[in-house]
Structure formats: structure tokens, C-alpha cells
Amino acid sequence: MMIMEIDLSLIGMEKGRQYETIITTKNTDNTFNAAPIGVICSGPDVIVIRIFKGSHTLDNIIENREFIVNITYDPELFAVSTLQNLPQDSFDEDMTLNDADAYFKCEVISLIEAVKQSDPIKKKDEAIVIKSKVTELVINKNTKAFNRGFSYVIESLTNFSRFDNVSDAQKEDYLNKFREAYRVVKKVGRIDDIKAMKEIKKELESKGYDL
């Protein structure tokens, strides 16, 4: 375990981009809770998260004004913490996930009610935007926080490479998938992911498709 200077770029986080993490918090009965949450990097030691009302994570953060952001590539941790509850033996005493590749501790700077227009969930006052300061960064093994952009690039390229050999209906399906992928990557992806998606878009447009 290495306690690092606090600089989120050490775990590959670019300013303004969003990374998929598992946030752990303390419940009122002193047990721990885990939930996947997208974390936007706002600088070397500042992050922003947006959490929909009704989650334990939001209630716990409002109550304690602190939380842990865990970096992991374990699909089971993401699945169980979304679909059920992680068992308590998944956590260390300090509220971190015991299998995390890295983690950082956060303290709340501000909580603001907000709903972004681009969001699929459009009801007003449904989410809280939480700006937080990172107070400790621990890297257990060399890792980078997970960004959805690269997955979309690979998925879009796979579909593109099959494009000329599929039916019109399948082409339409691929184009719709690409439109959604492009929207998400522009919003959350890293600079290089966005660049790659623009290249794919250009190729599809040169085939005469309107994106």
C-alpha cells in the first residue's frame, strides 16, 4: 500500500472527465454501504458527484459529509453493489473495499440541488451535486480509474468493422448504437476516446449516413 501525494492524475483521472467507481459510506447503524457512482474529476484534489435522491449513499453523505471512492475492475463488486448489498466482510475497518486497487477519502465542500438537461431522468430536484475535497489517496496497485469512453470506442469499432456485411436493419441498429455511444463519450470520455469516436463518425458519414 502506498499513500501518495494527493493528485488524481496518479490514477489516470483527467479534469472534467467522469470515471466509474464504487463509493462506500457509513450507514446510521454503523454498517457500511457500497454503490457504483460516476465521479467527475475537477482538479488534482477535487471531485464532483451527482447522486439521485432516495439512495443510501446520498443519505449517508448528507449525514456524515465524508465518503470513500474505491477504484476497482471487479465486475462482481459492481454487480452486487448495484443489484443487492455487498456483504460487510467486503469492507475494511476504515470503510474502504478490501479488494480496491486504489481509493481516496473525500470530505464534502458543498451540496447543491440540480438536474442536468442532458439527463434521461428529467424530474426537477431529483439529484444533488456534491463537490468534495480529496483528503487522502492510497494506491494498492498500479491502476487507472475506469472510464466508459474506451469501452464505447472498442464497441463502436467492432460494429464498424462488421458494418458492410450486415443487413439494412442491422446497419440501422449499429447507427443507433453509435449515436448513443457518441453522446456518452462526448459527455464522459477521455480526450483520446472522443478523438477516436470522431474518426469513426467521419467514416460513417463518408458512407452517406446522417449522424
Cβ nearer to ligand FMN, comparing 20 with 193: 20
Q: Which residues within the stretch 1-40 sit at the binding site for ligand FMN (CB under 6 A)?
A: 20, 33, 35-38
Q: Binding residue for ligand FMN (CB under 6 A) from 26, 50, 105, 190?
A: 50
Q: How far is the CB of 20 from ligand FMN (least distance, A)?
A: 4
If binding is defined by CB under 6 A, does position 42 make contact with ligand FMN? no
101's grid cell: 486497487
Task: Give Dmax over CA atoms of the chain in angstroms.
Answer: 59
Binding mask 71-90 for ligand FMN (x = CB under 6 A): -------x---x--------
Q: How far is the CB of 48 from ligand FMN (least distance, A)?
A: 10
Spacing of C-alpha 147 from chain mean position: 6
User: Rounded CA gap, 146 and 190, in Å?
Assistant: 11
Q: Applying CB under 6 A, what is the total number of residues that bind ligand FMN?
A: 15
User: Rounded CA gap, 97 and 80, in Å?
Assistant: 13
Q: How far is the CB of 82 from ligand FMN (least distance, A)?
A: 5
Q: How far is the CB of 150 from ligand FMN (least distance, A)?
A: 14
Q: How far is the CB of 108 from ligand FMN (least distance, A)?
A: 15
Which residue in 192, 12, 30 sits closest to 104, CA to CA?
12
If binding is defined by CB under 6 A, does position 52 make contact with ligand FMN? yes
If binding is defined by CB under 6 A, does position 57 make contact with ligand FMN? yes
Which residue in 194, 160, 154, 153 sits closest to 174, CA to CA?
160
Q: How far is the CB of 100 from ligand FMN (least distance, A)?
A: 15
> CA separation (Å) from 129 to 49, 122, 154, 165?
6, 15, 30, 45
If binding is defined by CB under 6 A, does position 41 make contact with ligand FMN? no
If binding is defined by CB under 6 A, does position 51 make contact with ligand FMN? yes
User: Rounded CA gap, 138 and 42, in Å?
Assistant: 19
Whether the CB-CB separation of 4 and 137 falls below 8 Å is answered with yes
Residue located via cell numbers 428529467 = 122
If binding is defined by CB under 6 A, does position 187 make contact with ligand FMN? no
Write down how long the chain is: 211
Q: 188: exposed, middle or buried (C-beta count within 10 Å: 0-12, 13-18, 19+)?
A: buried
Cβ nearer to ligand FMN, comparing 23 with 200: 23
102's grid cell: 486504489
User: Where do contacts with ligand FMN occur on this chain (CB under 6 A)?
Assistant: 20, 33, 35-38, 49-52, 55-57, 78, 82
